[in-house]
Amino acid sequence: MVLAHSRAMKTGSGTAVIQADLSDAAGILDHPETRRLIDFSQPLAILFIAVLHFLVDPYETVARYVSAAPPGSYLVISHVTVEEQDPETAAAGTTVYARTASPIHGRTTEEILRFFTGLDILEPGLVPVQHWRPGPDAPTGLGDSVRGVVGRKPAVS
């Protein structure tokens, strides 16, 4: 159903909808639509927003995407942390998702930063998402359970 709606909403030649498993990095990166839309000779951004905490062990998957990106590319991740400052909120969220087909796998700061091995982490580093470059209308009251971080793939020396 999601695929059908996505394809119906797709407009223009600059978009594509691919049915794939996020863990199949090669299948996505080598897909003809991906190759049509993304110039892998130019820096790009890889966005894993609110998705990695649904995977049991995504480190190799993320590494495959990063290795396909040229120097100067960015990796952007938001991720649920187990280092929640409000344990009741964290427990409630985990309980809700445990009853679904997609349980959450929160990670520690160290585990989240492991995705950025070999990358330069941009300021302000790994922080609650609402603190990452907040503007005057930044949301409040989100808690600290979702952290965000951006890293840049350095030039080859």
Q: What 3-state DSSP class applies to 148?
A: strand
Are residues 34 and 53 part of one domain?
Answer: no
Residue 127 and residue 149: Cα distance in Å, rounded?
7
Are residues 59 and 27 part of one domain?
Answer: no
* Structural domain boundaries, residue 78: 43-133+140-157
| Residue 66, pLDDT above cutoff 70 | yes
Least confident interval from 44-53, 96-105, 148-157? 96-105
Are residues 147 and 96 part of one domain?
Answer: yes
Are residues 26 and 61 part of one domain?
Answer: no
Tell me the pLDDT tens digit for each residue of 112-128. Answer: 999 999 999 999 999 98
Give the number of domains in the chain: 2
Band of pLDDT at residue 2, cut at 50, 70 and 90: confident
Q: Mean pLDDT over residues 61-74, rounded?
A: 98
| Residue 41, pLDDT above cutoff 90 | yes
Q: What is the pLDDT of residue 76?
A: 98
Q: What is the pLDDT of residue 102?
A: 82
Are residues 48 and 31 part of one domain?
Answer: no
